[in-house]
Amino acid sequence: MEKAIFAAGCFWGVQHYLDSVPGVIKTTVGYTGGHKEEPLYEEVKSRTTGHAEAVEVEFDPVLVSFEELCKLFFEIHDPGQKDGQGPDIGPQYRSEIFYTNDRQRVVAEKFMKQLKEKGHTVHTALTPAGRFWPAEKYHQHYYRKTGDNPYCHFRIKKF
């Protein structure tokens, strides 16, 4: 198994798309990249923790590659929107990949370069993964529970 952590706006929509990928074993929505220990949603939302809403993905690299997940990440959000995604505005909704090994960093850099060469703006940050704090239970698999669909994530082919 391998882990990856993606932040691309509201974590509900990101989890929705990642859950649909064969080879993804488990996804968990949560918070990372900030300074507050054991942050709660209301604290992250208040922009005082430095954390981003993110999704930790456990996947089987024999069934799905990090490359495939990284492409999906860039295709389900606008990496050109800084500190927000669609109607969700604030640094907690930033575009960021928290890489768990150097290979993930290199792959992410490759895709970012490709997007820029195609004329896309990319504000995605690359940061070594730190502590990941799972979000409250009611946030986990939100769209599966509600039967709704993401309102600010849409897949647009870019590669």
159, part of any domain: no
155, part of any domain: no
> For residue 106, is it left (φ>0), alpha (ψ between -120 and 50) or beta?
alpha
Q: Considering 10, 55, 57, 152, which one is annotated as catalytic?
A: 10
- The total number of structural domains in the chain stands at 1
152, part of any domain: no
33, part of any domain: yes
For the domain that residue 81 is a member of, what is the CATH number?
3.30.1060.10
94, part of any domain: yes
Full pLDDT tens readout for the chain, 159 residues: 999 999 999 999 999 999 999 999 999 999 999 999 999 999 999 999 999 999 999 999 999 999 999 999 999 999 999 999 988 999 999 999 999 999 999 999 999 999 999 999 999 999 999 999 999 999 999 998 988 888 788 899 999
- Annotation marks residue 10 as catalytic: yes
131, part of any domain: yes
Say if pTM beats, i.e. exceeds, 0.75.
Answer: yes
Check residue 154 and give its pLDDT.
Answer: 86
121-145: burial string, b at 16+ Cβ within 10 Å, e else: ebebeeeebeebbebeeebbbbbee
Do 139 and 15 form a contact (C-beta atoms < 8 A)?
no
